[in-house]
Each structure stands twice: as structure tokens, then as C-alpha cells.
Amino acid sequence: MHPTELRAVPEHIVKSKKLSILMPFLNEEDIIVENTRTVMSMMRELKINYEIVLIDDGSTDGSFELLHRAFAKEKHVKLVRNHQNFGKGWVIKTGYEYSSGDYILFLDSDLELSPYHIPNFLRIMDEEKADAVIGSKLHKDSILDYPKARRVFSKTYYFMIRILFGLPIMDSQTGIKLFKREVLELSLPRLVIKQFAFDLELLVILHENKKKIVSAPIELKFSRGAFGKIRWKNIVQIMVDTLSIYFRDKILGFYKRELGENIRYHYTIILFQDTGDEYEKFSLERFLDISYEGYDVIVVGMTDFGIKHPRLKFIRSDSDSYTDRLTEVREKVKLKTDYIVLSALNAYPDARFFLSAGRILSLKGVGAAGGYVVLRTDAKPYEGLVQSVSKSIFLNANLHYRYRALNPKKVSELQLNGMIIKAEYIQSLNPENGRGMKLEVLLAREIDKNKESLIYSPDLLLYQRFPESYWEFVEGLQTQVNARLEQMFSGKKVRTLRDYKFFISVGVLFFVAGSLAAVFIFRKPEFMLPLYAYYGMLLLSRMLFFGMINGFRSFLLLAWAQLFYGFSLLKGLLTRALGAKIKKFLQRFS
């Protein structure tokens, strides 16, 4: 039978089931509206209950606006927008959170794979009692108009994943797949890969959990050159991601980790207003536009932005301290909620922020959860430079996860922006226990004291405004130094300092000073070779990631930031450790 010949859907599916079709797109303004209409027409023909979830992966053309004009009032279409391009894996996870079907279909929006495959996929799932049906270019009944180079890559990759994972299918990358909802609830929250290899990671998780995966034939009319949208750098990334999946699966046992139930908690968001500018107003509007019913918002600061909203409450405060402002909120508002979300208004969330949070928070022993920040949309050039330095392990050491999408894990502290914490910790917080410390560190200390965990999750994402000038960056570094000094000299031994940035920065400072001193004392230039090697490696890594010019600028800022942070912290430590003794010594002569 031809792969798209069947037109009948099993009767019990027509009567009692719903199909969600997830169609990610990126810059498809020429075809996306017409292709959506094609899918809708076919679904009406099949007489099945359906919805189409269209997910924008950060398009820069008019795709989203065209779809909004065409389908804003169409009950069978949901339109979801990611404001940056994070990759197909992230888009599929986003689309799933907005879907409601019993069956979930992944379908590429270019429709090189016809939606008329759907009846046969549903038949195979029903007859074989399968949990997942995967379109396969290598199936014996597939009909392909397909470049030779792509065929060679597909077969090579098939043998690679067969050896590494033992998957019972021949093709993991074809753009049409059908799943039962319950198996995606088991697997999608465990995904880490955001881009092309996410398909493989998804299937590996299903295979590890003994779910039945079967292949289905396809008809493919390939029309985008030898590799379509995939470039050679994407192929290299796929190989790297594949080996990463193997490491997480076979070495770490990562995909067997526990997940909680996705409970729909009630949240109160407390936002700290600082500058009162248009950007902060925009951020507040984004917090008020999260796709979730059970939350309210409190803004604390000097400006109410003139916004009226049923979710919103404003509390006036002229304090510079977030901890003091939080105390004022607690005194003026009765917080009847499950969790508090904290953030400054220099950051804003995407619309799906709360949709998967329950899976983390419902785990036993979790006191707080948080994620990471990325560069805001339409950021200034210097912000990009600062962000490239901030997420470097050479500056932020073990805390660089606050700026990166990494494996979920227990951590020593969380980014303040987007930190979700049990309401009881806010209610019982005593600001006098850590006067001068950063609010997130003070809260982490209380959670640790109560023997609960802080969980980092890459699913909790905010867009942030980074320093827009050199002096803003310097001020931010000095603020970090001061906060760490307060933490180290707070006199509380409840919680060990786990910020290893100090060791790297001070180590580099001594390394540079030692090398220069050795050359000066011994008059031997070869003592500079280790220093040249270190900075050469740093420069090369920057250029590989960010290009020649931006990489060089990032290298200069990173090298300087290490020395500044190390010198400032060392100076502060010596002043605090020896200052009192020196003062006492001098008092003897007064």
C-alpha cells in the first residue's frame, strides 16, 4: 500500500480521541499560511477531532503576523511564539505544553511529508499497540525523491545509533512522528538537547522505558538541496549531541531520574522595579502575559507604570535593598499562595514559564527551583559582549549554569531572576540574619538549613537586559564582590560558600603576578610561556565560539574581568580580615 493511500481512521479514534499536530516553523512566510490550510482541509476530510499548534522558533520575517491575521479566530489553531531561535527540540517541548490531544503528531511545516500520512500512522499505532510511530526513509515501502548525499548520511547515522543505543528503528530524523500523549509526558520533560538531535534523545528515553516504537513508510519529495536546512556545522553538532546523549544515558543514567507530577500550583510573582524606564514597563507587561491562570503579580518600587490589570498590585518602596523591599511586601500583603517567584524587572519570561514548573516543584525535598537567563530580544551590542563573558566557565566557574542551558541538577544557589521558592520561606525570612547579602544567597542559606534542595532546570528561562556599558559592567562586578564578602563574613556557619569564581579569579591574579615577577627576578622570558599558553587558549576558544572580532573583544573583557574580580575580592578579604587588627594596633598609640 502506498504510504499516503489510506484515508480511513479507526472508528474509535474518530469518536473518542483528539489529535494535536505540532508544526514548528522558522521564517516560512511564503508557505506557512497555505500549508496550515492544507492540513486543516485534510483533517476535516478525516472527520477527526484535532488541533494544530503552530510554534514560531524566533522568526524574523512576517510568518507570525500572517498566521495571526489568518487564524486568530480559528478554534482548531493555536499560535505560540518563541522570541528567539532556540532550536527544534525547544519548540516541540513548547508546543507540547500548549497541546491537549490524546495523540501528538510532529509534522514539519514545509509539508515535504504530506499530512496524508496521518491515517496510516494512526492505523499502525492502533494495530501494533505501539506507543510511538516513526516515519522512516529506510522502510522497505518508503517512496523517496531524495538526494544521494542525504541518503548516505541517513544510513551512516542509522548504523551509528544502532551500535550506540540498539534502537529498534532505522531512522530517527524524519520530520513526521506520532506519539501517545502519556509517553511524551514521560520523555519530553527529560530532554536536554534543543536542536536537531532531540529526536534521538526522545527515542532513547522511550526505549529505556520499554515503550514500543515502530517504523512507518513515508513518501518524501525533497525540495531543499542536498541537506535542506541542515548545514555542515549542524551535522557536526548532531554528532556531538549524539555522543552527549550516549554519555548521559549509558554513563550517568541521567534519563532515569525522577520527575514529579505537573501540578498546577498558584504563584505570586514579586517584581523589583529599579529604573522605571520603558524596558521595565515592557518586562512587566510580559509577566502579565504568561499563559497560565493561577498567578498574580506584585511590583515593589517607586513607579507603577500606569498599568491597570486585575492580576497586578503595586507597593511603593524607596529602599535599595531587595531584602528590605520583600519584607515590606510581606508586611503589607497577605501572601495566600503556594510559591513565590522573584525577579528584578531587568528580565522577563516567555509565555510558557509556568507550564512545566510543577514537575520540578512537586518532587520531594525541593525548596526552590530556577533556571537561567539569556540575552533579551533587540539587545545592544555591548550586552551581547557582557553575556558572552558572563556565561564563561573561566569567569563564573561552577555558577555558569545561571547563563546556560545545562542538565537539571541540585545547585548551591539560583539566579534571582525567575527563582521559584516555597511561600513559607518568604514568610519566615529574617533579613537580619544576612544583612548585606544578596537576597538569593540569603534564601539559599535558609533552604539549605532546612535540608531541602535548590534545583536548576533549563526549562525555566528568562530574557535579561545585561549591562549596556563598561561602567555598568564594572559596577555589577563590584556589587558581586561586596555581596560575597558579606556572605563570607556574616558569622553564620550554616552554609558553606560554594562560589568557586573566587578561586579562579584569585588564582589567575597570582598566576599573572607570579609569571611577571619570575621574569623580572630571574631575567628569563620563558617563564612567560605558561601565561602565553593560558591566554592563547582563552583567545582561541572565544574566537571559535564568537568569531574573529567579537571573539577578540570577548577575550579582552573576560581576561580583564577575571583580574578585576580577583583583585577586588582579595583586597576586600585582606581589609576585613586585617583591618580590625590594624585599627586596634593603632589605637594603642592614640
- Per the model's pLDDT, the better-predicted residue between 485 and 326 turns out to be 326
pLDDT of residue 494: 42
Q: Give the chain's radius of gyration (CA, Å).
A: 27
Has residue 192 got a pLDDT over 70? yes
Complete DSSP assignment for 10-38: -HHHHHH-EEEEEEEESS-TTTHHHHHHH
Complete DSSP assignment for 176-195: EEEEEHHHHHHHGGG----S
Has residue 470 got a pLDDT over 70? yes
Reported confidence tier of residue 230, pLDDT bands at 50, 70, 90: low
Q: How far apart are CA 415 and CA 413, in angstroms?
A: 7
pLDDT of residue 434: 65
DSSP state of 465: P
pLDDT of residue 30: 92
CB atoms within 10 A of CB 447: 20
Q: The C-alpha cell of 454 is what? A: 535548590
Has residue 158 got a pLDDT over 80? no
Has residue 123 got a pLDDT over 60? yes
In tens, the pLDDT along 552-564 reads: 999 999 999 988 8
Domains observed in the chain:
11-252 (3.90.550.10), 267-488 (3.90.550.10), 502-587 (no CATH)
Q: How far apart are CA 403 and CA 417, in angstroms?
A: 11
Reported confidence tier of residue 325, pLDDT bands at 50, 70, 90: very high
**Average pLDDT of span 3-28:** 88
- Per the model's pLDDT, the better-predicted residue between 272 and 218 turns out to be 272
Identify the H or E element spanning 459. strand 453-464
Please return the burial class of 569, using the count of CB atoms within 10 Å of its CB with bins 0-12, 13-18 and 19+.
buried
pLDDT of residue 223: 59
Has residue 218 got a pLDDT over 50? yes
Report how far apart, in Å, the C-alpha atoms of 215 and of each of 156, 174, 175 are: 18, 11, 13
Has residue 92 got a pLDDT over 80? yes
Highest mean pLDDT among 156-160, 425-429, 434-438, 502-506: 425-429
Specify which residues 573 forms β-bridges with: none
User: Degrees (nearest 5) of the Cα angle 306, 274, 336?
Assistant: 70
Q: State which amino acid sits at residue 376.
A: R
For 489, phi and psi rounded to 5 degrees? -110, 20
User: Degrees (nearest 5) of the Cα angle 320, 322, 325?
Assistant: 85
In tens, the pLDDT along 440-463 reads: 988 998 998 899 999 999 999 999
Nearest-CA neighbor of 216 among 115, 125, 295? 125
Cite the DSSP H helix spans in 247-300: 278-287
Reported confidence tier of residue 286, pLDDT bands at 50, 70, 90: very high
HSE-CB of 378 using CA atoms within 13 angstroms: 3
Contacts of 344 (CB under 8 A, 6+ apart): 271, 272, 274, 322, 416, 417
pLDDT of residue 120: 92
pLDDT of residue 467: 95
Q: Above pLDDT 90, what percent of the chain?
A: 50
Report how far apart, in Å, the C-alpha atoms of 579 and of each of 404, 572, 582 are: 38, 10, 5
Lowest mean pLDDT among 79-93, 521-535, 570-584: 570-584
Complete DSSP assignment for 555-571: HHHHHHHHHHHHHHHHH
Q: How far apart are CA 21 and CA 216, in angstroms?
A: 17
Q: The C-alpha cell of 243 is what? A: 555522543
Q: The C-alpha cell of 212 is what? A: 514500543
Q: How far apart are CA 235 and CA 240, in angstroms?
A: 9
pLDDT of residue 69: 94
**Average pLDDT of span 5-25:** 89
Q: The C-alpha cell of 359 is what? A: 514537575
User: Degrees (nearest 5) of the Cα angle 320, 286, 371?
Assistant: 70
Q: How far apart are CA 205 and CA 189, in angstroms?
A: 11
Reported confidence tier of residue 121, pLDDT bands at 50, 70, 90: very high
Q: The C-alpha cell of 546 is what? A: 564568537
Contact (Cβ atoms closer than 8 angstroms) between residue 137 and residue 112 = no
Contacts of 546 (CB under 8 A, 6+ apart): 388, 554
In tens, the pLDDT along 381-429 reads: 999 999 999 998 888 887 889 998 888 899 988 999 999 999 999 998 8
- Per the model's pLDDT, the better-predicted residue between 138 and 109 turns out to be 109
Identify the H or E element spanning 360. helix 357-361
Cite the DSSP H helix spans in 470-547: 470-488, 501-522, 529-546
Has residue 491 got a pLDDT over 60? no
Specify which residues 343 forms β-bridges with: 271
Lowest mean pLDDT among 243-257, 341-355, 488-502: 488-502
Q: The C-alpha cell of 55 is what? A: 510554534
Q: How far apart are CA 203 and CA 131, in angstroms?
A: 11
Contact (Cβ atoms closer than 8 angstroms) between residue 341 and residue 422 = no
For 130, phi and psi rounded to 5 degrees? -85, 155
pLDDT of residue 513: 80
Contact (Cβ atoms closer than 8 angstroms) between residue 113 and residue 142 = no
Please return the burial class of 582, using the count of CB atoms within 10 Å of its CB with bins 0-12, 13-18 and 19+.
exposed
**Full-model pTM:** 0.87
Q: The C-alpha cell of 474 is what? A: 564594572
Identify how many contiguous H helices and E strands the chain contains and give both numbers. 20, 18
**Average pLDDT of span 541-562:** 92
Specify which residues 219 forms β-bridges with: 143
Reported confidence tier of residue 226, pLDDT bands at 50, 70, 90: very low
Q: How far apart are CA 173 and CA 171, in angstroms?
A: 6
Has residue 7 got a pLDDT over 90? no
